[in-house]
Amino acid sequence: MSERAISKVCVIGLGSMGFGVALSLLRKGFRTSGYDINAETLARFSEAGGEAEENPAAAAKDADVVITVVVNGVQTESVLFGDNGAASGMATGGTILSFATMPPQLAEQLAASAYKLGLDYIDGPISGGAKRAAAGELTVMGSGSRKAFAHVRPVLDAIALKVYELGEKPGIGSSFKIVNQLLAGVHIAAACEAITFAKALGLDIGKVYEVITASAGNSWMFENRVPHILQGDYSPHSAVDIFNKDLGIVSDLGRDKKFPLPIASAALQMFIMTSAAGMGRDDDASIARLLASIADIDLPGVPKA
């Protein structure tokens, strides 16, 4: 079976992740259209060689693949199936590639809506951050039909280093991502708690970082986020409110499945607390700042009470 050729790819949502995705596609020679609510972002996309359009439907016109890189499931639903939604403009037989982290049930619903329009759908939450998006090195935790994966393979090759095909049913990809986010969120909160506690014990926290990253207490997040704390730099690589959203999905899903999640719940409360203290848009390592200010601990870049 020869696969349907891809003559045009459309990216909806050109934030730090979506812009990187679009750049990777342009670099590989894909004709790439796009839409973002932010006019400046859209102008930058146009300068980079993209076809900037004024709404999702216009951007998706005759596109074989539409990639949604918006912040959550509700936005994904809106840009695909709302007024001037992308799905209405797509070429028949096209494939939607959804990258947002969302409740698995919503991913299933969006896929069902796509199928009704004769479109295919991959539930493919991504991870890797803005830098890896720009380098075409994302990780995709995807589920969808084999036909859909085969169709979008050249697109995935352009934007991702690692693509997990986790099952044929949309919702599975989102479930994997949510389990990852449960762990990631807990590990960030634990890293912030541990390093601020270490400072409270009078330890050299640079040395703590060195020892822990070589020990059984290490995590990917400890290794990645604690340097922000050591440098006192809370400009957002990934914001506190992203984990309020993702651990919120974890929490909802736990209640729905009647599955107790005591550790994830404690972590979620720390993200909520940090957001409530005015740091929702700052780097998620800001939980350390909150603890330092509560307990009057002297961390880099945190004013003493």
Q: Which of 206, 208, 198 is nearest to 231 (CA)?
A: 206
32 beta partners: 9
- Write the binding mask 241 to 260 for a copy of itself: x where contact by CB under 8 A, - elsewhere: ------------xx--xxxx
Using CA atoms, how far apart are residues 28 and 49, in angstroms rounded to an integer?
12
176: contact with a copy of itself by CB under 8 A: yes
- Tokens 């049930």 found at: 105
Interacting positions 92-151 with a copy of itself (CB under 8 A): 104, 127, 139, 141
Question: Measured from the CB of residue 70, what is the shortest distance to a copy of itself in angstroms?
Answer: 20
| Closer CB to a copy of itself, 86 or 212, in the complex | 212
Torsion angle in degrees (nearest 10) through CA of 186, 110, 99, 175: 30
User: 124 with 144: CB under 8 angstroms?
Assistant: yes
Spatial contact of 98 and 69, defined as CB atoms under 8 Å apart = no
- Write the interaction track for a copy of itself spanning residues 54-93; mark x where CB under 8 A is met and - where it is not: ----------------------------------------
Contact residue for a copy of itself among 172, 242, 288, 299 (CB under 8 A): 172
Helices (H), 98-171: 104-116, 129-134, 146-159
Positions annotated as catalytic residues are 177
- Which residues form the interface with a copy of itself (CB under 8 A)? 104, 127, 139, 141, 162, 164, 166, 172, 175-176, 178-184, 186-187, 189-191, 193-198, 200-203, 207-208, 211-212, 214-222, 224, 253-254, 257-267, 269-270, 291, 294-295, 297
